[in-house]
C-alpha cells in the first residue's frame, strides 16, 4: 500500500500531490530594501517544487514597509511586487507544487533599520512600541486584504496569515501582549478580532472557492488550551488550513507538557492535539528531520501535513528522496542559529 504521506489531498479545489510542506522561511540577504523578488528567490522555490514538495508556502512577505522584520524582507505591500511573485508561482506550478504565500506584519518586532516607530496592541513591560489607534488597526487590516488580493493576482493558490512567533497578529491574540480595553482586547474573541476581520474581508472579496486561507498560529499562545480555542475560532471563521507553530512564551507559564512516549517536541505535540479538535486540515512542524519521522505522523493520522523547514533548505530534493527512501542531506541543527538566518550559502549541510 502506498505511504499515506504521498497520497494527494484536495483543499479548495487545489490538488496537493502529497503531504509534505515547505513552511515559510525568509531567504535572508536576497531581497533589497524594495522587497522585490530576485532570480535567486525564483530558483530557490523552483528547486523545491522540482524536488517533489506538495505544498510550498513562500516566506513571510510584508503587508506594509514599516512592518517588516528586516530590511531585506520580501514585500507584498505594492502592486510592483506582483510580477516577481508571479514568477515564483509560475516556477512552482511548472513543477507541480501548490503554492501559497505567508503574509505578515512584524509589529513590535520591526527593528530600527526598518522603522523608528514599531507598533503593538499595547505597550507592555517596558517595550517602547507605540500603541496602535483603532484607525491604525483598520489601516493594517486593509493592508492585509490588499496583500491577499495581490497574492491572488500573482496566481498564488492561497495565503497564510502569520499569526505565530510573536509578530503582530499573535501580539493581538496573546493575553501576554494585548492589554487593550477596547473592542480589540479583553477575551480571546476580542483579541482575535483583527485576525478574524481580515479572514472575513478576504473571504468576502475572494469568495469561497479556489483560494486557500491558511493561518499559522502558536499552539501555546500562551497555553495549549488557548491554542485549541484559537484553532476553533479560525475554523468557524472559514480558515481552510491551520499550521501550528510556536507562540509567545513567558518564563512564568510552563510549555505544554509532551507525553513521555511522544517521539517529537512540544510544538509538534500541540499541532497533533489541535488536529484532533478541528475538522480542517492541520500542518505540524518543528524539528521533523527524516522521511520515516514524517511518515510516522501521517500514517498515524496525527496530522494531515508535515512541514519540513531547514530540511528543505539543506536539500531541495527532500521530498523526492523521502519518496525513494533515500537519505536527504542532513540539517546539522547549527547553534546558536541556523545559518540561513544570515547567509544560506554558509549552510554546512549543503
18, 65 in Cβ contact below 8 A? no
Residue 26 binding ligand FMN, by CB under 6 A: yes
Binders in 78-107 for ligand FMN, by CB under 6 A: 102
Q: Which is nearer to ligand FMN, 211 or 340 (CB)?
A: 340
- CB-neighbour burial class of residue 142 (10 A; exposed 0-12, middle 13-18, buried 19+): middle
Helices 193-206 & 134-154 angle (0-180, nearest 10): 40
* Nearest residue to 253 (alpha-carbon basis) of 178, 191, 176, 186: 176
Q: Which is nearer to ligand FMN, 57 or 206 (CB)?
A: 57
Q: Which is nearer to ligand FMN, 91 or 169 (CB)?
A: 169
Binders in 107-146 for ligand FMN, by CB under 6 A: none
Cell 483543499, located at residue: 11
Residue 44 binding ligand FMN, by CB under 6 A: no
Strands 98-104 and 74-75: unpaired
CB atoms within 10 A of CB 119: 24
Residue 338 binding ligand FMN, by CB under 6 A: yes
325, 57 in Cβ contact below 8 A? no
Between CA 283 and CA 184, with CA 108 as vertex, the angle to 5 degrees is 75
Q: How far apart are CA 300 and CA 66, in angstroms?
A: 43
Q: Which is nearer to ligand FMN, 184 or 340 (CB)?
A: 340
Residue 341 binding ligand FMN, by CB under 6 A: yes
Residue 27 catalytic? no
Q: How far apart are CA 108 and CA 226, in angstroms?
A: 22
Binding mask 52-81 for ligand FMN (x = CB under 6 A): -------xx---------------------
Stretch that binds ligand FMN, among 146-154, 219-227, 280-288, 293-301 (CB under 6 A): 280-288
Q: Which residue out of 27, 45, 95, 167 is catalytically annotated?
A: 167
How near is the Cβ of 62 to ligand FMN at its closest, in Å? 10
Instruction: Classify residue 15 as left (phi > 0), alpha (psi -120 to 50) or beta.
Output: beta
Residue 23 binding ligand FMN, by CB under 6 A: yes
Judged by CB under 6 A, the residue of 91, 101, 234, 308 near ligand FMN is: 308
Q: Which is nearer to ligand FMN, 180 or 282 (CB)?
A: 282
Q: Which residues bind ligand FMN (CB under 6 A)?
A: 23-26, 59-60, 102, 162, 164-165, 216, 245, 285-288, 308-311, 338, 340-341
Which of the residues are catalytic? Answer: 167
Amino acid at each position: 500500500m502506498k505511504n499515506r504521506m504521498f497520497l494527494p489531498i484536495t483543499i479548495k479545489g487545489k490538488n496537493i500531490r502529497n503531504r509534505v510542506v515547505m513552511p515559510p522561511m525568509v531567504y535572508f540577504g536576497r531581497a533589497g530594501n524594495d522587497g522585490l523578488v530576485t532570480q535567486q528567490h525564483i530558483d530557490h522555490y523552483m528547486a523545491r517544487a522540482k524536488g517533489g514538495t506538495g505544498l510550498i508556502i513562500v516566506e513571510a512577505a510584508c503587508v506594509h514597509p514599516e512592518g517588516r522584520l528586516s530590511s531585506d524582507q520580501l514585500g507584498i505591500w505594492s502592486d510592483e511586487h506582483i510580477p516577481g511573485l508571479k514568477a515564483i508561482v509560475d516556477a512552482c506550478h511548472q513543477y507541480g507544487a501548490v503554492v501559497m504565500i505567508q503574509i505578515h506584519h512584524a509589529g513590535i518586532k520591526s527593528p530600527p533599520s526598518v522603522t523608528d516607530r514599531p507598533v503593538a496592541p499595547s505597550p507592555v513591560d517596558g517595550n517602547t512600541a507605540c500603541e496602535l489607534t483603532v484607525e491604525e488597526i483598520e489601516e493594517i487590516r486593509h493592508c492585509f486584504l490588499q496583500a491577499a488580493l495581490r497574492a491572488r493576482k500573482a496566481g498564488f493558490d492561497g495565503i497564510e496569515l502569520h499569526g505565530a512567533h510573536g509578530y503582530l497578529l499573535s501580539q493581538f491574540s496573546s493575553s501576554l501582549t494585548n492589554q487593550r480595553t477596547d473592542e480589540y482586547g479583553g477575551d480571546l474573541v476580542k483579541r482575535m478580532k483583527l485576525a478574524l476581520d481580515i479572514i472575513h474581508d478576504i473571504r468576502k472579496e475572494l469568495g469561497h472557492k479556489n483560494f486557500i486561507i491558511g493561518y499559522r498560529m502558536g499552539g501555546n499562545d500562551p497555553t495549549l488550551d488557548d491554542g485549541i480555542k484559537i484553532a476553533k475560532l479560525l475554523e468557524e471563521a472559514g480558515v481552510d488550513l491551520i499550521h501550528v507553530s510556536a507562540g509567545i512564551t513567558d518564563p512564568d507559564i510552563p510549555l505544554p507538557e509532551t507525553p513521555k512516549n511522544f517521539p517529537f517536541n512540544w510544538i509538534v505535540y500541540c499541532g497533533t492535539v489541535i488536529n484532533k479538535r478541528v475538522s480542517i486540515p492541520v500542518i505540524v512542524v518543528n524539528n521533523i528531520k527524516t522521511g520515516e519521522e514524517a511518515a510516522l505522523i501521517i500514517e498515524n493520522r496525527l496530522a494531515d501535513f508535515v512541514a519540513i523547514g531547514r530540511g528543505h533548505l539543506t536539500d531541495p530534493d527532500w521530498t523526492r528522496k523521502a519518496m525513494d527512501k533515500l537519505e536527504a542531506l542532513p540539517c546539522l541543527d547549527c547553534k546558536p542559529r541556523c545559518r540561513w538566518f544570515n547567509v544560506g550559502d554558509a549552510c554546512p549541510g549543503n
